[in-house]
Amino acid sequence: MGRRNFDSFEEVLRSVAEHKAAAAKAHLAGADPTAEKPRDVYVGACAAIAQALVPDGFRYLKSKHALDRMVGAFVHRVSFQSSAENIAGQSVVLWMHANVRCKDLAIWRSHQSNPLRTDDWVAGGMVHNLTREHAMIEWQLADPKSRSAVIGDAQEFARTVVLGYFALFEDPQRTVAELLTAQINAFSIGDQIEFVLCFAGPQEANQVLQRFVEHRSDLHSQMRRAIERVDREGFPEYSPSGYADVVAWVRKAYRLEPAIG
């Protein structure tokens, strides 16, 4: 099957249900003693994909099934994940993640009274989020006859899509300049604001927030209610995840003034 691109969340849920049902059936039937162990297949594929990225400055962390490299202020990380529902000889799934981190941003957050988060996270996630063309992407490694081609496809995806995404995070000032004109996928608005405040200032942060607010006119009434609530009650106990609540939080925490509606 090779790479499978899911085009809707419903497809993803259906696939998960099918994998669970097949795994349960296989468990009752007993394992095929002649089949390759799913973990061995998965670990071998991770190492092979990693090998293709080593020339680009990545270091493979075998115990974590991940690769890291430093580019200026940023850490670029590629990591892999598999399914608990793998079936020897039938299904060995590989999922890929890509994220960006920054120690300088973590230090900046540590000096803020009400940061949205306190770690070094910048952006990223599962690789379908980098382009938003699909609801999920996975690679099927079970068939030894097609495995080499599947691994080659994952290597090519990493070298084009993932490295292309990382190219947006090589110099903080260039990243800020990009955010001032366009959205970067898999980069949440709250993290954008803290990043821009760290590496530029409140004027640029307000510009990024204003662009987001104008783009999400469907949330204006929710934003106004969230702002009123935070102004009245203060910051909630836990950092928010919903867009309206995030806008209200960063507005108050960093004294930003986006025009809403």
- Given 135, 166, 197, which residue is the final one in a domain? 166
Beta strands in the chain (DSSP E): 2-6, 59-61, 66-71, 74-82, 93-102, 121-126, 136-140
* pLDDT of 250 strictly over 70: yes
Mean pLDDT on 236-257: 94
- Name the pTM for this structure: 0.92
Say which residues have a Cβ less than 8 Å from residue 70's Cβ, sequence separation at least 6. Answer: 57, 76
Residues 31 and 101 placed together within one structural domain of the fold: yes
Residues 96 and 112 placed together within one structural domain of the fold: yes
Residues of the domain holding 112? 2-166
The answer to whether 16 and 138 are in contact (CB under 8 A) is no
How much helix, strand and coil, in percent to the nearest 5, is found in the chain? Answer: 50, 20, 30
Residues 121 and 240 placed together within one structural domain of the fold: no
Residues 137 and 236 placed together within one structural domain of the fold: no
The answer to whether 142 and 92 are in contact (CB under 8 A) is yes
Residues 73 and 25 placed together within one structural domain of the fold: yes
> pLDDT by residue (tens digit) across 93-127?
999 999 999 999 999 999 999 999 999 999 999 99
Residue 200 lies in a domain: yes
DSSP state of 159: I
Residue 260 lies in a domain: no
> What is the C-alpha radius of gyration for the chain, rounded to an integer number of angstroms?
21
Can you tell me the distance from the alpha carbon of 122 to that of 99, in angstroms, rounded to the nearest whole number?
Answer: 8
**With left for phi above 0 and alpha for psi between -120 and 50, is residue 30 left, alpha or beta?**
left
The more confident residue out of 132 and 29 is 132
